Each structure stands twice: as C-alpha cells, then as structure tokens.
A and B are shown apart, each in its own frame.
Chain A
Amino acid sequence: MAVTHRYVRTEMLPQQTAPLTERGAVKWVQTNLFSGPFNTILTLAGFVVLYYLLQALLPWLLNGVWNANSLAECRAIIAANAGEGASGACWALIRERWHQWLFGFYPQDQYWRPVLAFLLMLTAFAPVLFSAVPKKLLWLTVLFPAICFFLLWGGSVWAPVVGMLGFVVLVVVYRLAQPIIGVSPGAGAGVVAAVIWWLFLGAPLANFLAGLMPWGLSPVTSDQFGGFLLAITIGVTAISFSLPLGILLALGRQSDMLIVKTLCVGFIEFIRGVPLITLLFTASLLLQYFLPKGTSFDIILRVIILVTLFSAAYLAEVIRGGLAALPRGQYEAADALGLDYWRAQRLIILPQALKISIPSIVSTFIGLFKDTTLVSFVGLLDPLRGVTNVVRADINWKGIYWEPYIFVGAIFFVFCFGMSRYSMYLENKLKTDHR
C-alpha cells in the first residue's frame, strides 16, 4: 500500500526585506543622484558649487555681530572672536538703522500710524483674498483708502471724509440715473457729479467742518516718507487702482467700437513700449508742462498715477489674453440669455477670463512691487537705493556692502514669494476642471 507523504505549508513565509540597494536611502540616492554617468557628473558639480557657496557664506553668517556702534568696532569684535582675518557679517547696522529702512524719515514718535495702517491693510484685504473671512469686513475695505490716507499723511480728518463723500455722490447719482439712461451714461453722470463735488464743493465743506471740529493728526509731508513704507504705499495703491483700469482697457481693446478700440490699443502699446523710468521722469519733469500753470501736486501722488497707468497697460494685455482664451460659445450664450453688455461681462465673461489670467495678473503685481524701487531715480527714498545710500554715507558705517542689500533683498523676497504662493493657492481653489 502506498503511503503518500504530502507536505503542505500551512502558513506564509514572512516577506523578506528588499536587498539593500533597492530600498531606503541607498535606493533613493541611486535613483535621484547617481542614476547614470551624466547625472553623476551633475550631482558632483552641484556638490562642488554648494561647497564653495557654504564655505564662503557660513563663516560670514556665523561670525555675524549684532551689537556694535560702527563698522570698525564690528570688525574688531569679529577679529577678537574668530581670529584675525576672519570674515563676518555686521548686522549691527541693521539693528541700529532698521527703522529707516522701514519708515524713512517718518517722525519716530508717529511710527504707530504706519504700523496701524499696515495692520488695517491686512484686515481690509482679508475678505477680498480669503473666502473664509466674514464678508462684513468689506466695509472696512471700502473705507480703507481714506483711513490710510488720514493715518499716513495726517492733517485734518475732514479732507478724507469729504473725499469719500465724493464716491457716495458718485454712487447715488449712478443709482438714480442708471435706470433712466443706462449703464455707461449713468456711470459718466456719476463721475461728472463726483468731480464737481471734489473740485468745487469739497474744499469749502472740509474747511468749514475743520473750523467747527478741528480734529486731526499732526501732518507728515511726503518727503519724510521712505523705505518700505513708501514702497508699500506706492505698490498697494497702484495695484488696487490698476486692476479696474486694466480690465476697462482690456474690454476697450476687445470692443467692436473702432474709436474706443484704437484709443485703447494706442495707449497700451505706447506704455508697454517705453521703460518705466521714462514714465517716472515724465512724472517728475514733464507734468509741469502738461498741467495748468502754477499747479503742482505731491510727487508721491504723481508717481502713483504714472505707476498705475504703467501696470494697467500690462494688466490689460494679460486680461485680454484671458478674454481671448474663452470659447466663443460663452459670449454667444450670454447674448442668448438676453444679458446686456455689462451684465454679460460681469456675470459670465470676466469671472472666467480673470480666473484664467490669475497667474499672469499676480506676476504683473509682483513686477510692479519690485519696480517701486525705481522711484529712487526721481528723488524719493526707496528702501533699496535711497535709504541704503543714506545709511552707507554715514561715517561710522562707511565701507559696508552686503548687509544692507541682503536685508532689503530678503524683505522683498518674502513679499514677492508670498504673492506668488498666494496665486498658486487661488489657482488651486478656483480650479473647476477634473484633470
């Protein structure tokens, strides 16, 4: 009789770990750094570059001195700590003069005003930038320009109040006129009424109110502005005003009306064809020719106007790209629904076109913010060149090179990098396709 011996394994063998070369750090290094001769050379070259960078930078950063009163003292401390001939950063300069980079020559006892304005700005932008913030805060956003102007420049409280009332006049006239004569003529009438208010009624009323209730802050003149206070003032104002202007220009360029289109194209192409510096020089040298004799207004305001026009032209091109990228069917569908031009734009076309162009719009904004440094060429005290030159001219700090530029560059980097990250967040949030 045959006995069959059968051997059946009743339990699974435990899985063996992968060979050493196929797992963990070794595998990772192999696939990501040394996957072939070319990659190996690249990696080694990368390490060499990194080594030289760190070799030059690390001791300099580690030997940094924060407490000193002059560059010579700085160098003495570094020599005492790290030995003769060692290199080191002298951050003491930043510690002593940081306020000038932030505020320029703004009166020191009034620093709370720009700081408060900056915090209010963050609060005012929050409901626009993030959907989770309660929408009631939008009222602050609307009022913010006047509050900010009052805080920064000071003077009587009634000038900004009366200025804001001009917008109220605009809205009221538009609301009354729009049902009767349509959107564009209604808006035109509103603007005319507001301009009349600002030109003829505003000043006497503000003076009268200031006489009754002389409330206000001590005035600060524009030439005391400087540093990042100036850069942010110009940048943020120009950004906020150039977006609507850019949208209007883009719509005008896409319009069927020949004259409107020609004017818009001419304006956009002219502005985009010349460097910003020439426009800033226009603001400082030529505006005196183009305005009635004897009128002169604030240089910061002049610069803001020119920078706004400049970035509006760039934004118009970006938004036109978004408008052109929309399928024709969207325009036709809006027409088929019986929407008039402005309703179609507001409800159907622009939300989609703006969404497409978000990355380019934000990079235009970043460019604009970086370009605010150019105002130093018309005599304003920008953080990069203006304030740094003032500081480097100080006898105590003569001969300092890298530290101021690194400090200012780092702040610019934080702002611009933050903006680009926000645009990526927004792009992600608004993405509706299923890719």
Chain B
Amino acid sequence: MAIAADVPKDGFRLSQLIYDTRYRSYTIQIVVLVLFGLGVAWLLNNVIENLAAKGKVFSFAFLWQRAGYDIEQTLIPYTNDNDHFRAWMVGLANTLAVAIPGCMLATILGVIVGVLRLSKNWLIGRLMTVYVEIFRNIPLLLWILIIAVPMRELTPEPRDFVVTAEMQAAGEAPVASMWLGDSVALTSRGINAPLPLFARPLGSLDLGFMSVNLTFLATLIVILGSFWVNRIIVNRARVMQEETGVRPVTWWQSVLVLAGPFLVLMVALGFHLEYPVLGKFNFSGGVLLQHAYTSLLVALVLYTSAFIAEIVRAGIQAISRGQSEASAALGLRPGRTMNLVILPQALRVIIPPLISQYLNLTKNTSLGIAVSYLDLRGTLGGITLNQTGRELECMLLMMLNYLILSLLISSVANIYNRSIQLKER
C-alpha cells in the first residue's frame, strides 16, 4: 500500500526533532527549559559573586536584631526594643488596617455611585459620571497627596484650641474648636477621636507564640452567633411561607436576636468612650488617627470606588431588558425587581472584576510611601532595609508577603465567586 510505504522505515532521524510535529513541541520545551535554567543560573551566580564582593552573607538573622525605630501607629504591641520581625508584623497589620476597611468602604461607595449613575435622574446621573471620570483618570498618587498635604499643613496646631483666662475675659473665641460636641479635633498632628474602651475587659489568653484578646473574641462569637440564630429564624419563616403561603412576622425576633446579646455584652463589659481632652500643649486620651492613615484610606476609597462603580454599572447593564420587563409583568415593584431579579444576576458578572479591584487596592496600599505611612513597605521594605542594608532579603520577604496576601484574597474571593455562579447541571 502506498500510504504504508510512505512511513519512514529507517527509524528516527535527527531532523524529525524540528520538522515532525510529534517531537517538535518536546524540542521547543527542552530548549526553553535549558535557556531558562541557564538564565537562572547566571542570575544566581551574579548574586553570589556580588554578595561576596560586598562581603555580605545571605541570611535572615537580622530579623531577630533590635529594630530601634518607632512606629506611630501600632495595632499590636510594639516598642523600639522589639526585633525587626515584630516591626514587620506591625507593618503587615498596618497594611491590613488600610486594605480591609478600604475594600469595604470602596464597595459601599462604588455600588451607590454605580447604581446612581444609571438613575433616571438627569442631574444625579451627570454628577456621578463626572465623579467616576475624574477619579479614574487622575493618578492615585495625586489623590493621596492632595488630601494629605493640606491636612498636614493647613490644619490648626493643638495650641490653637486653647482658651486662656484672658481670652475668656475678653470674650474671644479660640482659633480652632472641636467638632461633634467636643469629641473630635482635627489638628496638624492627626485627628483626635473618641476611643472605645471596656471598663471590665476579659483580659487576654497567652498561647505562647501569640496572645488572643478575649474581649475581641467574645464580641466576635456573640456577633456571629446572633447572625447564625437569625438565619435559623429567617429560614424557618421561609419554610412556613412555602408550606402555608403566609409569612410569619419575624422582624422583631430578628432585631431582638441581632441587637440584644450584643448590647448585653457591651453593658456587661462596661463599654464606654474615652474622649480626647485638651492639655496644655496637646490632646491626651482618645485615639490619634495619623494623617498618613486617614489620607491613604480616603484616597484609596475614592479612587477604587470609581472603578467599582463602573464594574457595577456594566454588570447591571449586562442583564437583558427582558429580565426587568418580565419581573414588571409579574407585578414586582422596581425596588424588588432590583433586589430579587437584577442584582443576583448582575452579581455573577460583577464579582470577578471586583476581586481584582480588591487586589489592586491591597497592592496600592504600598503608596503609603508618599505620606510616610509605616506599612509593610515602610517597615520591612523601608526602615529595616535601610538600617540593616539587607536589600536582597528584605525585598524578597516583602514581595513574598505581598504575593501571599494577594493569593489569600483571591482564593477567598474565588470561593465566594464559585458559590454564587450559575450551577449548570
């Protein structure tokens, strides 16, 4: 047979490695792998040579040396006698302190702006379009600076709040005064705000490698528990509605379950606010929010919410008009149409790009460098790096840290995404 005769009988020839599609992909992959290996080896060799030339040893021992620098905003206990590792953890906590509230606030603001942009109201629609276009098309760095610079340089000094006896006698008002019933003061050093405190805290549990704040834990358990009980109540109401067609009145049960235990716990723990009090030169008591933190958070929220608004708008517009018309035909009111028909479907379109916005926001917290915010980059990749001179180790750890953070966020978000996607059977 002719076809059989065409098959080469003399076995394997070298040229088949390039011309035969069965082998070609192996050839290419091996060449790529060898080139990649050579490249990595070359880089590593350079690193070793350069380290030797500078007389440095690749080691992470510096993490256990005394850090010796102060961090203004510490969410976990820290003094400058702690080691660099502790400073790194403080920085990580500061990064999360911007990223987590930032994601929440940006989502809320973004959804509001996105929905309002589709409003039939001409004025509101235009205002929201202007908002989105302005914040999307101007660099984030500008928003951070334009909020931080006046906050630092145009706000009054703490001594401007002082009322002296002479001023009282003359009936003069101080240069600046506090807001919200003498509870919040905006000064050039930060925002003094009331601090929530507990008169009878539960203390903390020392597990050796870390300590657990029992008060926080108890609050968390109570909140989660009441949500769980509330879910049972709502589920039971739904079952009853499906069986009998009448939905039992449950709102007061929900309110009781959601608010009651929490309020009881707060009273039992002795919840109160500590207000900032003006001393001779400065405010004491309360909490001092650093301008670096506030401006970074506000700028990130404003900037990211513009992107989220666009995602929400696109998601809602992706739902075909037939859906809202069908629900109108069923007699649903516009509000219920939005909640029961449009948003659940739009959510499937919205979630994946929303996840990448959360990732962007988290990575953008590193722009805190512009206002000297001591986050992950400011501690580990900033002062620690400069003090110890260990560029290679610090940068590696920092990149690894950001990478893990990104992977964590995207995996959690992807689990949620999978749970709401259309189940095709």
| A273 engages B50 (CB within 8 Å) | no
- B residues less than 8 Å from A258 (CB atoms): 29
Closest to B409 in A: A273
Shortest A240–chain B CB gap in Å is 20
Known: A384-B139, A413-B138. A50 touches B127 (CB 8 A): yes
| A373 engages B141 (CB within 8 Å) | yes
Cα A289 to Cα B48 with chains together (Å): 8
Cα A50 to Cα B127 with chains together (Å): 9
| B120 engages A277 (CB within 8 Å) | no
Contact of B137 among A31, A46, A292, A416 (CB under 8 A): A416
Assess whether A79 is interfacial by the CB under 8 Å rule: no
Shortest A57–chain B CB gap in Å is 13
Closest to A359 in B: B314
Shortest A322–chain B CB gap in Å is 15
- A residues less than 8 Å from B43 (CB atoms): 290
Cα A308 to Cα B259 with chains together (Å): 53
Closest to B400 in A: A274
- A residues less than 8 Å from B123 (CB atoms): 32-33, 42-43, 46-47, 50
- B residues less than 8 Å from A42 (CB atoms): 116, 119, 121, 123-124
Known: A33-B123, A291-B46. A417 touches B29 (CB 8 A): no
Known: A289-B46, A292-B46, A401-B150. A412 touches B406 (CB 8 A): no
| A288 engages B121 (CB within 8 Å) | no
Cα A408 to Cα B36 with chains together (Å): 43
Cα A409 to Cα B136 with chains together (Å): 11
- A residues less than 8 Å from B370 (CB atoms): 377, 385
- B residues less than 8 Å from A241 (CB atoms): none
| B120 engages A35 (CB within 8 Å) | yes
- B residues less than 8 Å from A408 (CB atoms): 142
- B residues less than 8 Å from A32 (CB atoms): 120-123
Known: A278-B399, A401-B154, A412-B138. A293 touches B121 (CB 8 A): no
Please indicate which of the listed interface residues A50, A182, A278 has the most CB atoms of chain B within 10 Å of its own CB: A278
Shortest B148–chain A CB gap in Å is 11
Interface majority SS (helix, strand, loop, mixed), chain B: helix
| B366 engages A416 (CB within 8 Å) | no
What count of chain A residues pass the 8 Å CB interface test?
61
| B137 engages A275 (CB within 8 Å) | no
Cα A281 to Cα B296 with chains together (Å): 20
Instruction: Tell me the chain B residues, 133-187 only, with Cβ under 8 Å from chain A.
Output: 133-134, 136-142, 145-146, 149-150, 153-154
Assess whether A111 is interfacial by the CB under 8 Å rule: no
Assess whether A220 is interfacial by the CB under 8 Å rule: no
Please indicate which of the listed interface residues A276, A289, A384, A417 has the most CB atoms of chain B within 10 Å of its own CB: A289
Assess whether B415 is interfacial by the CB under 8 Å rule: no
Known: A181-B18, A405-B142. A273 touches B402 (CB 8 A): yes
- B residues less than 8 Å from A270 (CB atoms): 403
| B33 engages A259 (CB within 8 Å) | yes
Assess whether A199 is interfacial by the CB under 8 Å rule: no
Where the two chains meet, the residues of B that have a C-beta atom closer than 8 Å to any C-beta of A are 18-19, 25, 28-29, 31-33, 36, 43, 46-47, 49-51, 53, 116, 119-124, 127, 133-134, 136-142, 145-146, 149-150, 153-154, 359, 363-364, 366-367, 369-370, 377, 381, 385, 391-392, 395, 398-399, 402-403, 406-407
Given contacts A272-B406, A413-B138, 12 further A-B contacts (CB under 8 A): A32-B120, A42-B123, A263-B36, A282-B395, A371-B139, A373-B139, A374-B367, A377-B370, A384-B142, A401-B150, A405-B146, A412-B138
Pull 12 A–B residue pairs with CB atoms less than 8 Å apart, ordered by A: A32-B121, A46-B123, A182-B18, A185-B18, A258-B29, A272-B359, A278-B366, A281-B381, A288-B50, A289-B51, A290-B47, A409-B146
